[in-house]
Structure 1
């Protein structure tokens, strides 16, 4: 009888795990399909959490309505500046690419000949796969994504406007909840504080990285040094994927410009050192224990949310994980989850 009961309990637990996995897959699919609505809402909440202190200070002097408007304009100015830097940087890169399309094609042909000489056959001819038409299609794709980003920012701005207008009322309503009010207020305030710290640290490191990349590429004689610095600054806001892109692109262009794999390797190594020092050494020391999170979880969050929401997900993935772990840290039954993924060694004693 005991054996039968134990087998039944094991089967029941197995069913619960299976149902949980199925529910997770269905939820992830739903979140992905609802990207058009959910992504702007999530971004708007993130923006509101970051700019809320500015809103509160302005409200004390000029009132809620005007404070919300000024906060929104300031937010749009910052976001617009970052987007403009990306567009400016990549437009210069695109112009240089068109002007040197023949050099790109020659490098591609040399790489193809080398690979074929070592037993790796490329599908089709070089001209069919890497030419001006291919570059034009790539730029058209980038233009389409830029238009999509503009629409995304407009929808997000609308949500931010209404969110800022109702934020104070919403906070007071949450505080009045009889059972969970204190818990939600404490965890919400902590999450907002961490979001502000996250963006402050990310901005500081992005500026430092951009200056270092610009200085190195200029000193090494690379063309487009300012563009590479601007691109590195802007893309550094996207964890993992952004720094990798900001490192790989100058490496490829160094190979084309100098026609030397040694110089390209040198550029690649130095830029990786810059990214490592800023991202893995300076950033954790500036943020301290406030934003302590497992590096594995950071990597998973970036790729998981980029899989669901693309570039927007790559940016918002880490803040979402920070918010989730902070929420868990405020619950007595879920604090172990925050400790498990904090990336910190347990304290002695």
Structure 2
């Protein structure tokens, strides 16, 4: 019975304040909408992400006297032109290198098998032939399963062509209207919120700044890391340099985990091309320098205003939200973790604590 009393006192202390109760209800309703209808509203979420990214240049143009509608039109035209140039410049090269790498994967795997099978001869005291055979059989079975999944995924993705067309038409329109009529939509959202919204407003203002800074910083980080990696790999004459550079750039979306995962294809391709040679180690040193500069220089500069989170909390957030919402869960893992921290902070400082203490004193 004492456990229920403890829980009851905690509940009254934290939710005796109507503002705290309204914040909890809003979070539960938002989570339910994302869980059950997240796929349907995904174009709206994508448009909101791009609108967050483009809101900064629009505001800069408005501050120097340009009309908001004209500023939105200029920013949208520049953004569309840059996107098309990147797609035209990168997509054919990345596609071609991806096909070549897939075609050479069996040869790479065969060379890896030959090297593994020579291990018992080199280290007879540590590696036995039957161990190698068992390991190779297990790996081959897993590779067959992965190949089947990739083939089925490629066929299922054909049906997504219509969805891509929808994104190409509807998302830019939604982005334009979100930028142009930003204050109109904010007023409508404010009108729908309950009057007991002190904590909702507090958390909302904090998260609005956090998300805007995070999206802008993450896009800049992807571009810088990807461009530097592509240039480095090309100068060192690494095969599939553009493809691997793009992968390194995209890997920053997943903190810690992404850098560890993308190291595997970079190392495998370099090892297949040069073997264990000075060129291989030069490349790995250069790649390590890129990762070190990203983690110790670029990230602190871009995300200096972000709420500091322990690396363990970030990894847990990536795994949890990525499991719930896939790519976008991974992309927003840090802002969502920051949201959880902001909500906990808001509840911890809830006036309900003061109210409860006063009632206990009386």
Aligned length: 323
Q: Is the 8 A contact 2:252 2:259 kept in 1?
A: yes
Aligned counterparts of 2:111 and 2:309: Cα–Cα separation in 1: 42
Question: Which residue of structure 2 aligns with residue 249 of structure 1?
Answer: 265
Gaps of 5+ in 1: 17-23, 336-349
Aligned counterparts of 1:70 and 1:63: Cα–Cα separation in 2: 11
Question: Which residue of structure 2 aligns with residue 92 of structure 1?
Answer: 96
Question: Which residue of structure 1 aligns with residue 330 of structure 2?
Answer: 314
- Among residues 220, 226, 229, which one is paired with 2:245 in the alignment? 229
1:143-175 C-alpha deviation (Å, 9 max, x unpaired): 659858836844544543443343211334567
Question: Which residue of structure 2 aligns with residue 150 of structure 1?
Answer: 164
What is the SS of the residue equivalent to 1:222?
coil
Question: Which residue of structure 2 aligns with residue 35 of structure 1?
Answer: 38
Q: Is the 8 A contact 1:175 1:185 kept in 2?
A: no
Aligned counterparts of 2:323 and 2:184: Cα–Cα separation in 1: 35
Summarize the Cα distance change of 1:199–1:334 in structure 2 as closer, same or farther, 3 Å threshold.
farther
1:304 deviates by: 1.8
Question: Which residue of structure 1 aligns with residue 294 of structure 2?
Answer: 278
Larger CA Rg, structure 1 vs 2: 2
* 1:298 and 2:302 aligned: no
* 1:288 and 2:304 aligned: yes
1:1-54 C-alpha deviation (Å, 9 max, x unpaired): xxxx536526868999xxxxxxx9999787444331244333333333332233
Q: Is the 8 A contact 1:301 1:317 kept in 2?
A: yes
Aligned counterparts of 2:148 and 2:194: Cα–Cα separation in 1: 62
1:94 deviates by: 1.8
Question: Which residue of structure 2 aligns with residue 118 of structure 1?
Answer: 131
Mapping for residues 110-189 of structure 1, pairs under 5 Å: 110=114, 113=117, 117-119=130-132, 120-123=134-137, 129=143, 137=151, 140=154, 144=158, 147=161, 150=164, 153-154=167-168, 156-172=171-187, 179=195, 188-189=204-205
Q: Is the 8 A contact 1:239 1:314 kept in 2?
A: no
Higher RCO by CA contacts (8 Å cutoff, separation 6 or greater): 2
Given the two structures, how large is their TM-score scaled by the length of structure 1?
Answer: 0.67
Summarize the Cα distance change of 1:202–1:128 in structure 2 as closer, same or farther, 3 Å threshold.
closer
Q: Is the 8 A contact 1:175 1:181 kept in 2?
A: no
Summarize the Cα distance change of 1:238–1:85 in structure 2 as closer, same or farther, 3 Å threshold.
farther
Question: Which residue of structure 1 aligns with residue 2 of structure 2?
Answer: 6
1:278 deviates by: 0.7
